[in-house]
Structure 1
Amino acid sequence: MAGDPNRDDIERALAKVLDWPEIARSPQLARFIDYIVRRKLDGDEQSIKAYSIAVDVLGRPPDFDPQSDPIVRVQARRLRALLEQYYRTDGAGDVVHIHLPVGRYIPEFLAAGAASKAEIEPDMAPPQPPPPAVSVAPPRRKRGEITVPWFVLVVGIFAILALAYSLLTLGPRQPVQAIPAGLLSRPIVSVVEFQSLTGDPADTRLAAGLAVELVTDLDQFETITTLYGGSMGGSAAGNGVDYILSGIVRREGQMLQYSAILTEVVTSSVVWSKVVSLTPEEAARPDVLDYVSGLLGRVLGSPRGPVHAKARALLLNGPLSAADENLYLCRMLFDLYRERENAAMAERASNCFQTLPERDRRSGQALAGLASLLVETTGADSGGRSRMEVVDLAQVMLNEAIDASPTSGFVWEQRARLFEAMGRHGEAEAAYGSALQLNSANTDTIAARARHLAFTGRLEAAEALAWGAINTAPDAPAWYLCVPLLVALKDGAFAAATELAERYAETDRELGPILTIMAAQGLGDGEMVNRYLPRVLDVQAFRRAGVLTQLRRRITDDDLLARVRQSLVAAGLSPAALVGSF
């Protein structure tokens, strides 16, 4: 194709990109590329800035600050990666390629021959590969559908649950503890540039920009405030910084090593360190900075990571004063509930969210967390409301959460969990995809998606995801083990399956005991079968609907369901109890 592409060619190229499923599934990215392409075609390049994209395309308010909110950089990186994937695959034969240079938002239109020569700026971080699935924005509810404020309903439901829990435990409540003021808010981490000690100027690109990548990635967790500390770190103590993240890059034989160090400002002590060793092939990755940032982010952003250790220790030590609770501590309580899934932690997390100031209580995080707690901790009748009414209420809350925080990975993950509980598996998978698009380093989301894939018959794809989360997350919770457990059962590795199943059963009170029975039967351990069968019979959801009837809401894998049926009948469960109340 001779000369520069004309407008008609560019518009045809844009139409092809917008029709590509990976873009079409993400309305936000579709609007992003349509906006910047048409602005350039209209000669309005000066208006293609982070602020205008955030406000006009991504729905940010007029007071949006590009310096404190990285959403435009994050979405540009996703779009850039998708464009590269498109032109490597479906769009390889297109006569015009739309190219988004690194570090800029103004697109370039390249004839096919010139497109392959487009260079990436050497001092900028290459793009991150896109996740496998992206969600379509959820439908908005009509105004007036809920005549009673949802918050009143939620308070009533949780009050009944709290009373029931208190009557069941019969023990004296623990005294409320006072918290040092420095642990009340989410930690502030200053990330300084990593220093290259390789001695080779060509290796500058292996360190330059990593701090920016880490700031961008860690911001997506919403439980850490991250600051860019430049090359020296500035006056951390004076800026209220709690931790400084620094590091070096060096070569050890053929390996490239990134050594990260987290220093607590108050004590000047190193509280965490990690070495990421890369093979020559890994070091040559075009997205090496994204890759390393993701590995470090999986630890630092985790609720079990080092920056949250003190807050978690305090929360595990007993209840707090209502005056001390805030959104950060509520999130920590929610994460503790998720790891343990016990009634006590659920009650504390729900009480925390409900007693927040109005502004925080209506934040995306609080709404989404409460919605998940509502669905996962209520029975068939909560305050005179049916299970369906509880689920409908949770949907309203999650729609409001997405309105409040449309780019929160946490919010989208809770939406995925709701869809999964409702048996709407296609929508659940799409929502998990959106959550991972927004925060690809969240191992909780990765593990949850892996489990969902396994339940829907895609065990092979699930296994790689699950081990990636288990091997990189700090203190991986027992519920991460579901996929390895299912693989062990399928492979007949019953000794390993039994060990995994007993741990998993503590966090999944529906399926966990059943999988333990299946593993025990494989070993011929009748005593273990007899210990776990009463736990299956004690699940209220099973008693109301039948075991398989309830499990079919979560599981669509017919082979797994058939093995569950065979196992439970062999254990002595009546076939009628599999499909009806008992």
Structure 2
Amino acid sequence: MPAGAYIVKLALVAQSSQRMNSLYSSALMNASSDEAVTQDEIRAELARILASPEFKASPRRREMLIFLVDEMLAGRGGELKGYTIGTSVFGRGPDFDAQSDPVVRLEARRLRRDLASYYVSAGRADSLRISIPTGHYVPDIRRTADSDLPSKGEIGTGGSDISKTDPDPPATHIRRGVDYLGGKPVRRTAALVVAFALIAALGYMYFGRLPPGDSSESLPLRGPAVLVRPFNSHGDSSNIPILAAGISERLIADLNRFPGIRLYVPRANDDQTALADLIGAKEPDTTSFVLTGSVNAQGTGVRIGAQLVDVMSGRVIWAEQFDRQLEASSLLDLEADIATAIATAIGQPYGVIHTELTGRLPHGFKPEMPSYECVLRAYAYRRTFATELHAPILACLEASVKRDPEYADAWAMLGWLRMDAARFNLVAPEDMSLAYSRALEAASRAVALDGRNVLAFKALASINHYIGNYDESERIQRQALALNPNDPDTLAQLGWRLAVRGRFQEGIPYLHKAIERSVLPPGWYYHLIAIDHYMNGRYAQMLEAANKSATDNSSISWSLVAIAQGALGNDAAAREALAKMAVISPLLNRDPTAAYRRHQATEEIIQALVAGLSEAGWHRQAAQQ
């Protein structure tokens, strides 16, 4: 996982139980004092630990600590089992067996030592102590006196902590982000202060205070870097600053769902921090952006503005304004609506950022092209599936995973490119089975590397579709959609596969929703919409959709244009579209039945399209000569 995304992911896990309408306080009575320990105190202590250079835990163990504290405060401590931690923190799949895979037990032991080391050094004077008792995963929170702290001789000795086996009862499904904790509401403003203090502490720790040379578990920087500044607020209404803070919080969460984006937040007490400063670069990162925004009272309404600025040039590459009515009862819906719209516009695979960076790509392919550039070029290829781009991008991705074997995005794209070699007949017939097998292997590797990577799940779902595992493909694709409901590409792929298997009523709404949420949708988003119109006799609507799809200049798109023109009686236009189709894909011109069938379309769809081509002027014998 990219380092910046990891940082924000850590902060987001810590915030998950304190969404602005679902924060509740709980007074925890510790064993040594009658004085209550409040939720705010616990989160402040957690922030101090994470921000300290003396806390040597790896990124995964930091995430584990946040998850354990978060679940305990949410009242789900009884559900903290090895299975839930393995699947929620360490990216293991639903078949994870904590008994055979000891990752949770081993990392819990290391985390205990990390915490003990912190409390004999930087945390010696802390008023609270967070520990993970041996034999349990539920954190112990207590007020401390000097006598409570371990001596240096106890650190790293292991003792009973190593000899005992951590508990691992049968798997229990957990639901994160439950709305209740103890039954008493916490004031929203106080919760926000804690949430942003924790984010700021995490950003400060990662960007400015990592100990020199402590890079044994650092992750390579990949993909565009985005600094998200807190939205400014202007106006007399007390709801305005609350809304601004809520949008900022939700925006980070929504952006974090899109793979490949490195997210950053300003250091503590420094909302003017430049992204180049945060990443410690002497020169601005050429793939760096700053997202800013404001919330302004407008009578009984509110105007929310957002801008995305390119750090290198200072150019505003995207800006949008949203005018809404301001009602206290609908603040949560409003912040979700705005944050989702902004995150989707700039973060989706064919959104503002990827489109901007794709436009900057130099011509040609270098032998040692950076891994992220290979992935970015693969995104561009997947807009059109141009045959001439396949071989160099495939080679680029193969090289990327060799030099960067932990890069899940590269493995996911490699799975797609290997699949394309088979489905587009770019390998010999006898090698197709091997190509699909290697595609499945690459996509499965991507999921294993990052169990929350939407791109990896989409690739795995696509490959399963093309090898005929339709039910498994749908299951995996819906899993991808659950990880990021705002990704138009995920919506489109699910809709496309449902429709191509004849389930038009289920699939077409997904495709329309994907198009509505896309800045510049790829042509294939329209293919099944056009086919649905054709099979229902709506030829004018089919032509409109087919023309929109033809912006990708693919053979399938031109075949749909030809069918629509033929059905409308526009013979000359139909012949022109057929000619373009034949140049782009001799196979589709020679044997359209085989060409359509390779996409796993139903026989009803295939027969209808071939009949449509014939009506448009295509003749089998002439095409085969």
Relative distance call for 1:335 and 1:196 in structure 2 (3 A) is: same
Relative distance call for 1:51 and 1:551 in structure 2 (3 A) is: closer
Q: Is the 8 A contact 2:233 2:240 kept in 1?
A: yes
Correspondence list, 1:487-526, <5 A: 487-490=532-535, 492-505=537-550, 507=552, 509=554, 511-526=556-571
Relative distance call for 1:385 and 1:208 in structure 2 (3 A) is: same
Inter-partner Cα distance in structure 2 for 1:252 and 1:357 = 52
Secondary structure at 1:486 match in 2: helix
The residue aligned with 1:469 is 514
Secondary structure at 1:284 match in 2: helix
Inter-partner Cα distance in structure 2 for 1:559 and 1:384 = 26
Q: In the alignment, does 2:222 pair up with 1:211?
A: no
Relative distance call for 1:119 and 1:421 in structure 2 (3 A) is: farther
- 1:497 Cα deviation (Å)? 2.9
- 1:416 Cα deviation (Å)? 1.8
The residue aligned with 1:129 is none
Aligned counterpart for 1:295 among listed residues 332, 341, 353: 341
Q: Is the 8 A contact 2:222 2:260 kept in 1?
A: no
Q: In the alignment, does 2:406 pair up with 1:356?
A: no
Secondary structure at 2:260 match in 1: coil
Correspondence list, 1:222-301, <5 A: 222-229=259-266, 232-236=270-274, 237-240=276-279, 242-252=288-298, 255-278=301-324, 284=330, 286-301=332-347
The residue aligned with 2:448 is 403
Secondary structure at 1:193 match in 2: coil
Inter-partner Cα distance in structure 2 for 1:245 and 1:422 = 41
Whichever residue aligns with residue 390 of structure 2, its letter is A
Inter-partner Cα distance in structure 1 for 2:79 and 2:498 = 45
- 1:318 Cα deviation (Å)? 0.3
- 1:367 Cα deviation (Å)? 1.9
Secondary structure at 1:208 match in 2: helix
- 1:572 Cα deviation (Å)? 5.7
Secondary structure at 1:386 match in 2: helix
Inter-partner Cα distance in structure 2 for 1:108 and 1:295 = 30
Q: Is the 8 A contact 1:478 1:504 kept in 2?
A: yes
Relative distance call for 1:41 and 1:50 in structure 2 (3 A) is: closer
The residue aligned with 1:197 is 234
- 1:442 Cα deviation (Å)? 2.1
Correspondence list, 1:354-393, <5 A: 354-356=398-400, 358-361=402-405, 363-378=407-422, 380=425, 382=427, 385-393=430-438
Q: Is the 8 A contact 1:343 1:377 kept in 2?
A: no
Q: Percent identity?
A: 20
Whichever residue aligns with residue 516 of structure 2, its letter is N
Secondary structure at 1:319 match in 2: coil
Aligned counterpart for 1:339 among listed residues 369, 379, 383: 383
Q: In the alignment, does 2:329 pair up with 1:329?
A: no
The residue aligned with 2:89 is 54
Listed as ranges, the gaps of 5+ residues in structure 1 are 1-31, 67-97, 110-116, 126-183
Inter-partner Cα distance in structure 1 for 2:460 and 2:609 = 28
Relative distance call for 1:338 and 1:366 in structure 2 (3 A) is: same
Q: Is the 8 A contact 2:240 2:296 kept in 1?
A: no
Whichever residue aligns with residue 233 of structure 1, its letter is D
Give the alignment's Cα RMSD to 1 decimal. 4.4
Name whichever of 40-49 and 282-291 sits farther off.
40-49
Q: Is the 8 A contact 2:443 2:460 kept in 1?
A: yes
Secondary structure at 2:321 match in 1: strand
Aligned counterpart for 2:497 among listed residues 431, 436, 452: 452
- 1:414 Cα deviation (Å)? 0.9
Q: Is the 8 A contact 1:191 1:233 kept in 2?
A: no
- 1:380 Cα deviation (Å)? 4.4
Q: Is the 8 A contact 2:291 2:308 kept in 1?
A: yes
Q: Is the 8 A contact 1:100 1:108 kept in 2?
A: no
Correspondence list, 1:155-194, <5 A: 186-194=223-231
Q: Is the 8 A contact 1:255 1:277 kept in 2?
A: yes
Secondary structure at 2:223 match in 1: coil
Q: Is the 8 A contact 2:306 2:320 kept in 1?
A: yes
Larger Rg: 1 or 2?
2
Name whichever of 551-560 and 194-203 sits farther off.
551-560
- State the Cα deviation string for residues 124-144 of structure 1 (Å, max 9, x = none): 79xxxxxxxxxxxxxxxxxxx
Relative distance call for 1:552 and 1:424 in structure 2 (3 A) is: farther
- State the Cα deviation string for residues 403-461 of structure 1 (Å, max 9, x = none): 12221100111112212223332222222212222222322222222222322333344
Secondary structure at 1:258 match in 2: strand
Relative distance call for 1:232 and 1:265 in structure 2 (3 A) is: farther
The residue aligned with 1:482 is 527
- State the Cα deviation string for residues 25-54 of structure 1 (Å, max 9, x = none): xxxxxxx99x979x9788687999989951
Inter-partner Cα distance in structure 1 for 2:577 and 2:175 = 58
- 1:339 Cα deviation (Å)? 1.1
- State the Cα deviation string for residues 355-403 of structure 1 (Å, max 9, x = none): 2263524532222211211221345472674322221221222222221
- State the Cα deviation string for residues 255-294 of structure 1 (Å, max 9, x = none): 5432112233344443321123445699827444333222
Relative distance call for 1:569 and 1:191 in structure 2 (3 A) is: same
The residue aligned with 1:163 is none
Q: Is the 8 A contact 1:245 1:263 kept in 2?
A: yes
Q: Is the 8 A contact 1:446 1:465 kept in 2?
A: yes
Correspondence list, 1:531-570, <5 A: 531-533=576-578, 539=585, 547-548=592-593, 550-552=595-597, 554=599, 556=601, 560-570=605-615
Q: Is the 8 A contact 2:240 2:297 kept in 1?
A: no
Superposition TM-score, scaled by structure 1 size: 0.64
Whichever residue aligns with residue 377 of structure 1, its letter is A
Inter-partner Cα distance in structure 1 for 2:290 and 2:589 = 53
Whichever residue aligns with residue 500 of structure 1, its letter is A
Q: Is the 8 A contact 2:303 2:323 kept in 1?
A: yes
The residue aligned with 1:394 is 439
Relative distance call for 1:541 and 1:506 in structure 2 (3 A) is: farther
Secondary structure at 2:226 match in 1: strand
Q: In the alignment, does 2:354 pair up with 1:311?
A: no
- 1:523 Cα deviation (Å)? 1.7
Q: Is the 8 A contact 1:185 1:329 kept in 2?
A: no
Relative distance call for 1:208 and 1:356 in structure 2 (3 A) is: same
- 1:494 Cα deviation (Å)? 3.3
Q: In the alignment, does 2:594 pair up with 1:529?
A: no
- State the Cα deviation string for residues 271-323 of structure 1 (Å, max 9, x = none): 321123445699827444333222111121134444445532332x4024333
The count of aligned residue pairs is 445
Q: In the alignment, does 2:488 pair up with 1:443?
A: yes
Q: Is the 8 A contact 1:365 1:401 kept in 2?
A: yes
Whichever residue aligns with residue 380 of structure 2, its letter is L
Inter-partner Cα distance in structure 1 for 2:328 and 2:470 = 35
Inter-partner Cα distance in structure 1 for 2:514 and 2:482 = 16
Q: Is the 8 A contact 2:563 2:616 kept in 1?
A: no
Inter-partner Cα distance in structure 1 for 2:459 and 2:304 = 33
Inter-partner Cα distance in structure 2 for 1:420 and 1:46 = 34
